[in-house]
Structure 1
Amino acid sequence: MTSRDRRRAVGLVVAATVALGGCTAADEPDAGASGSTASTTPSGDAGDTSSDRASEAATAVSDVLRTRDRATLAGDRAAFAATVAHPDGATAGADDGGSDGDGDADHDEGSRQLAAFDAAGRLGLSRLEHDVVAPVDDPAAVDVTLRYRVDGIDRGDRTATVRYRVVEQDGRWLVAAQQPVAPGAAPPWLAMPDLAVRRSDHAVVVGTADTPALAAAARTVDDVLPRLARQWQRTPGRTLVLLPATPAEADALTGAPSGAPGTVAALTDGPLDDTGRATGDRVVLDPDAQARLTAVGRDVVLAHELVHVAVRATVPGTPPLWLSEGYADHVGYGRADLPQRTLAAPLLDAVRAGTGPDAIPTADALDPQAGPIETGYLAAWQVAETVVDLAGEEGLRALVRACASTDGEAAAEETCDGAMPRVLGTDRDGLTRRWLERLDRLAR
C-alpha cells in the first residue's frame, strides 16, 4: 500500500423494511506491466545448506509458475496438472522430497490447486504473471507477487501475494500447495475455488453465493450502471461483483485478518492509473450483510457501490469523504422508495435529542475504527441532498467533479471550499446553514 491508498466505510441504515450495513472503497497500488522476474536472494548465510535449498527452490519455482501461468491462460488443464505435486491422489506418504509427510494433506492440496485452475478458467483472465521474491522461513517455500487482469474488466494490473510450497519429485520441482498471504487481497479463484460466474450485459458476477443471489446482483448492475454511464463519461461498460458465501472467503478477498469483526457491507477497490482514475474496480459484498438485508437493501447497497465504480473510473482523484459517500447514498437510497424521514431516522432522533451534528462530517467522523458511523453517514447523505436543493442533480455531480483531488483528504476539502461558491452559489458556511435547516425540518 502507498500513501495514496485509502479505506472508506459508510453506515447505510434504513429503519423498518430496509437494514443496511456499510461500504469501503480502497485503492490498490499502481502496478507496472513488466514481465516476470525472479529473485534468488537466500534467507541466511551463503554457505548454509538450508539457504542453498531455499535459493534453489526460489529459482526453480519461477520456471514452474511460468508454465502454470501459460497453462491457465490457455485453459490447458493437463499442462497445469503436470506442475502439481499430487494431482491424481498419489499414495499417502509418497516421497516428495520436501513434504511434511502428510500425503493425504498433499493430495487435498493438489485437488485444491486443480479446483482453483478450473475457477480461473470460469472467471476468465487476460493476463497472469508472477514475480518471484525472496524465500521465506520454509526453505522450500516462496512468496510470489501475482499480477493479473480479469478479461473485459481490468485495464490495469491487480496484484496479490501467494505463498507456494514446492517439493522435489524425481528431480523435478512441483507445487505442493499454494496459499494467499494476507493482508493483501486474494485472487477470486484462490479465495473461492468453487465459484460460479454469471455474465450479463454489464456485469460479471462471481461467487459461491446461491444462483438467485448472483442473478439479482446482475440485474441491479444492468439497471444501474447504464444510467450512471449517461452521467459519468468513461464509466466502465461492465463491472466485476464478488459474492462470497462465507466470512472466511470474504476475508480472503478483502485481505482482512481471519475472524476480524465485519464493519462494512460492501467494498469497492481497484488499482489507479497515473491520473488517479480507477482502471477496473470490483465490488465485494459481505455475506453476513447480504443475509440480513432485504432484497431492497441489497439493491441499495450494490447501487451505492456502483456509484463509486463510476466516479472512480471517470474523476481523477477523490472528493472529500462526506461528498463521495453522500453522493453514493443519494443514488442508493433513491432506489429504496421510502420517505427520507424513515431512512434518516437515527440521525433525526439525534437532532431531536439535541445531539445531532453541527458541522459537515469530517473523515474521522466517518471512520468505523474511530467509533459509531451511522449518524455521520446519514448526515453526509443529507448534505448531498442539500446540494441537490441548491443546485439540482447536475449541481451535485458538478461538485463531485470539482472537489476531487489526488493529494488526499485535506487537499480535497480545500479544493471543495474553492469550488462551492462557483457551483452552489454559496460557501461552506452557507451550505452548512441550509443543511442544518433541512435537518430541523425533517426532525419536526
Structure 2
Amino acid sequence: MSRRSRRTSGRPTASLALVTSVAVVLGACTAPEAPASSTGARATATAEGGPGAGVTSDLPPQAWAAARTDAVTRLLRARAAAADAGDEPGWLTPLGGTSAASLRAEQAAVLARMRAMQASDMELTRVREVTAPVPAPRGTEVEWDVRASFTYRLRDFDTAPRTFDLDLTFKADPARPAALVITSCAPSDRPQPWDLAGLVVRRSPTALVLAVGSPARVDEVVARARTAASRVAAVWGEVRPSVWVSPATDADAARLLGRSAGDLVGVAAATDGPLTPGERAGADRIVLVPGAWTSLRPDGRDVVMTHELTHVTVRASTTRAVPVWLSEGFAELVAYEPINLPEATVVAPALARARTSGLPGALPADADFEPGTQTLASAYGLALLALRTLADRYGTQAVVRLYRAAAGGLASPTDRLDDREAAVDDALRSVMGSSRTALVQQWQARLRHLLG
C-alpha cells in the first residue's frame, strides 16, 4: 500500500501528504484573448474614431490611475456580491471583448459549480496593477492587467477563509474608466475546485466531496470518506467535517495544490490549507491524486484517506505545531488501526534501512520526511513504530492525550515556546510519566524484535 504523505500538522502553508490556503473573478477564468505583452502596449480604437481622434495629445496612464483603480475595485466587489447571491446577470454582465460569448458561457458554468459547492462570503481583499495601459487619447480603448486577491468559505465546512488570486485583463476608454469590461481572466497560481469541468458535488454532514469522474468513482470517494470519518472519530473522539477534492488527472491535482507534477510522484493524497500560528485550521482540503490513489488496493485507499482526515481533524482542534514524527506517526497509527497486516510488512522500508544502516539512535528528523529523499518511506515506518510503542504501553487514548498536550499549552520557559520537541518531552512527563530516553529505548527494542 505504497503512498506518499508529508506532514500536515504544524505547517503554516500547504503540505503534501506520503501520503493547513486557493481561482476566479472569482474562480477559474479562461484567457480567451492574448495576454498582455511584456510592454503592456495594447490599444484599440473605439467607434468614435482611431487613436488620436478628436484629441491633441495622449492621456498618460497616471492621469487616470486613481479612477481606473476605483472602477476595477467597484466592479470586482460587485462580482463578489453577485457570486454570493447567485446572481448570474450580475456575474456575467462585466464580461466583454472579442470573445465575450465564450467567456460568458464558461463563467456561467463556473458560477453554477460555485453555487453547488455553496461557496459564500466572497470578498475582494487586494487589487494591484500588473501591467499599466499605454498612453492613449480619449476615444481609444486600452487594456491593462490586474492581479486581484479574494477570500471565500464553503458553507457548513469552512470556519476560516480561503484565499486565492486571479489575473484579469480590463479594457476601457481612459475618458470613461467606469465603463470598463473584463476581457480575460485566469488563476494566478492555482485553480479552485469550481474550475474543474464536470465537477460533481456530494454533500453530507461530515463530508463535502467535489469529484470529477464516473458515478462509480464519485460513489467510492463518498463511501471511503464516510469510512475514514468513523475511523478517525473512534480514536480522536471527534472528526472534522472535511472537504475532499478528487480531480480527473494528476496534472489537475498538481495545479490545485500549487505543485509541479514531479512533486506528486507516488503521492496518493495531500492535505492543503492555511495555518496561522496559535489558531486552529479551518479551511483544509484533501486532494486525491488519481494515479497513485487508484493504483492502491481498496484497504490502501482507506488507509490514505483515514491518514489525511486524521491530519485535518487534528489541525482543526489544536493550535501548536508538533514534530513531524509525531504528526505523521499518529496519522499512520489511526490509519492502520483496523488494518490486519503483519507489522513487518507495514514498516518494511524502515526495517530495510535498519538492516543497512543499523538501529537509529534518535526519532526521525523533520528533514527525513521531505519528498524525494531516500529516507521518506522509512521515516513513516519509524514514526508509526514510535507511536505504536507508546500505544501498546500506555493505551491509544493516552497517545491522544499526549498529542493534545504537545499541540496545546506548554509549561516551559518563554524561550522554549517554539521548541516542538520540548513540548513533546513535557507531554511525555505529564501524560505518561515517561521520557524521550525511555521512548527511544523501547522503540529500538521493538525494531530489534522485528529484525529478528
Is 1:266–1:285's contact at 8 Å kept on the other side of the alignment?
A: yes
Aligned match of 1:220 in 215, 219, 224?
224
Which amino acid is the alignment partner of residue 118 of structure 1? A
Aligned match of 2:308 in 281, 297, 305?
305
Over the residues paired in the alignment, what is the CA RMSD in angstroms? 3.0
Aligned match of 1:65 in 76, 90, 112?
76
Secondary structure at the aligned position of 1:280 is classed as coil
Secondary structure at the aligned position of 1:159 is classed as strand
Is 2:209–2:243's contact at 8 Å kept on the other side of the alignment?
A: yes
Bigger mean CA deviation after superposition, 54-63 or 402-411: 402-411
Bigger mean CA deviation after superposition, 155-164 or 223-232: 223-232
CA-CA distance at 1:233 after TM superposition: 5.8
Structure 1 residues 395-421: Cα deviation after superposition (integer angstroms, max 9, x where no partner): 111111122268999611011112213
CA-CA distance at 1:351 after TM superposition: 2.5
Structure 2 vs 1, CA of residues 125 and 408 (structure 1 numbering), >3 Å: closer, same or farther? farther
CA-CA distance at 1:165 after TM superposition: 1.4
Structure 2 vs 1, CA of residues 291 and 138 (structure 1 numbering), >3 Å: closer, same or farther? farther
Structure 1 position 121 matched with structure 2 position 142: no
Structure 2 vs 1, CA of residues 235 and 275 (structure 1 numbering), >3 Å: closer, same or farther? farther
Structure 2 vs 1, CA of residues 57 and 110 (structure 1 numbering), >3 Å: closer, same or farther? farther
TM-score (norm 1): 0.79
Is 1:268–1:305's contact at 8 Å kept on the other side of the alignment?
A: yes
Aligned match of 2:264 in 245, 262, 265?
262
Is 1:135–1:141's contact at 8 Å kept on the other side of the alignment?
A: yes
TM-score (norm 2): 0.78
Give aligned pairs, total: 392
Structure 1 position 404 matched with structure 2 position 372: no
Cα distance in 1, alignment partners of residues 302 and 81 from structure 2? 38
Aligned match of 1:211 in 212, 215, 220?
215
CA-CA distance at 1:77 after TM superposition: 1.6
Structure 1 position 433 matched with structure 2 position 441: yes
Is 1:27–1:271's contact at 8 Å kept on the other side of the alignment?
A: yes
Tell me which residue corresponds to 2:12.
27
Cα distance in 2, alignment partners of residues 442 and 303 from structure 1? 25
Unpaired segments ≥5 residues, structure 2: 15-19, 22-38, 41-57, 134-143, 410-414
Secondary structure at the aligned position of 1:353 is classed as helix
CA-CA distance at 1:187 after TM superposition: 2.6
Cα distance in 2, alignment partners of residues 410 and 122 from structure 1? 41
Cα distance in 1, alignment partners of residues 277 and 421 from structure 2? 21
CA-CA distance at 1:82 after TM superposition: 1.2
Cα distance in 1, alignment partners of residues 330 and 367 from structure 2? 18
CA-CA distance at 1:198 after TM superposition: 1.4
Structure 1 position 142 matched with structure 2 position 150: no
Aligned match of 2:365 in 337, 358, 362?
362
What percentage of residue pairs aligned between the two structures are identical?
Answer: 29
Cα distance in 2, alignment partners of residues 270 and 332 from structure 1? 21
Bigger mean CA deviation after superposition, 211-220 or 393-402: 211-220
CA-CA distance at 1:230 after TM superposition: 5.6
Is 2:191–2:255's contact at 8 Å kept on the other side of the alignment?
A: yes
Secondary structure at the aligned position of 1:206 is classed as strand
Cα distance in 2, alignment partners of residues 166 and 175 from structure 1? 5
CA-CA distance at 1:256 after TM superposition: 1.9
Cα distance in 2, alignment partners of residues 366 and 218 from structure 1? 29
Tell me which residue corresponds to 1:3.
none
Structure 1 position 340 matched with structure 2 position 351: no
